[in-house]
Amino acid sequence: MLSRAQGTALSVGAVLGTGVISMPAIAADLAGPASLVAWLALIVLSAPLAWTFAALGARWPDSGGVSAYVRRAFGPRAAAAVGWSFFFAVPLGAPAAAAFAGGYVADVLGGGRATMVATFVGCLLIVVVMNWFGLRISGAVQLGLTAVLAVLLVVTVLAALPHARWSHLTPFAPHGWSGVGAAAAVLVWGFAGWEAVSPLSGEYRHPRRDVPRATAAAVLIVGVLYLAVAAASIAVLGPAAGDSPAPLADLLDAGIGGPVRAITAVVAVLLTIGAMNAYVAGAARLGAALAAQHSLPARPFGTVRRNLVFITVVSLLAVASPFALRTQMLLVTGCFTLVYILGTAAALRLLPRGWSRRGAALALAAVLALLVLTGWPALFSLVVAGSAVLYTRLVRIESPSSSSAGSIAPKPSTNPVESLP
């Protein structure tokens, strides 16, 4: 059983991921110092969003997580849309996740994009081979990697702060306030994982008491770490913050010096392998679960190994696509946001009247706004969800005797959101 401290650590680990090693630079490039407003907005949004999923988990502990609540509220077709959104987002997100680490490796070795692509291919092959033979990175190792990242962030901020300059905060919004919205849409990447709170709720000794408290502590920890790194990047690096492929390395170099770039590159690669393992392993098993319950075609998706092949092929196609890194991230964050929309809508239907329902309404309004800010890449998530609904409808017509058609309520081991980076 989980204690409150363990639950807090797991919740932090589900949200605090590899994105923080590069997203401060991406956000600064889009909005300049005003990107801090976007960071603050996402942190504030995290409170009602995390509280909503914590309230669902505290009342109905269910290992199926958000898809189980969507299924309870809206039926199996809506739950299938949740499953598809995660499953098809993973191979598109893998190149973007690895690109963060690739920037750090290229910062040390040189080679630019060629080094970044080589880093991605290497990380992907390691993860696929591990999962092909049934090797998994344990939860303890995953949490250990998260702890290393958290310590690295704290050390980086403290070491770099003496080099901060107020002058780097001006001009505050060089790209206008529209840049803040663009930055917020991308930053959803770094806040995916709050839905992992609800599947964990059944593991607490006292869910109704401990889940809300652990969630509140996790929101505070994640918010402080993210905002501190983003603020330090802008205050220390100034206009160069938006151009840096390795902002943490730049901050450590400014504050400490020495071989910090090589150290951060190694940490970035290890974190990326851990994060990709969580996504790829979860997606491969989720795809097999979807196929077993007639929510995906059984022939190409019926086994874990077939799904590993699918994820590998689509990931390689994604890295070779002409889409920019930001566009690839928006395609993925659009899927995450749609899952949040369905999850908070389910909460509005399931939760009793009171503060929990008001929080769900606030979270739903916010994630709807984020989906709009995503722009045209959000259409991808709508196409994926619509295809899931259409497919399950056709399967039900063709196989009326199948009682499980369209049902997806993956177990913890098949749901990637329970071990998000």
Whole-number pLDDT of residue 192: 82
Per-chain mean pLDDT for the chain: 85
The third-level CATH classification (topology) of the domain covering 4-419 is Amino acid/polyamine transporter I (1.20.1740)
In angstroms and rounded to an integer, the radius of gyration of the C-alpha atoms of the chain is 20
Are 53 and 303 contacting, i.e. CB atoms less than 8 angstroms apart?
Answer: no
Show the tokens assigned to 353.
């009247």
Residue type (1 letter), 219: V
- Residues of the chain with confidence (pLDDT) below 70: 62-64, 136-139, 196-200, 202, 397-421
- Whether residue 350 contacts residue 331, with contact meaning beta carbons closer than 8 Å, is answered with no
The single residue listed with the structure tokens 């790209």 is: 175
Q: What is the pLDDT of residue 236?
A: 93
The domain segmentation of the chain, as residue ranges, is 4-419
> Tens digits of per-residue pLDDT, 105-143?
999 999 988 999 999 999 999 999 988 987 766 667 777
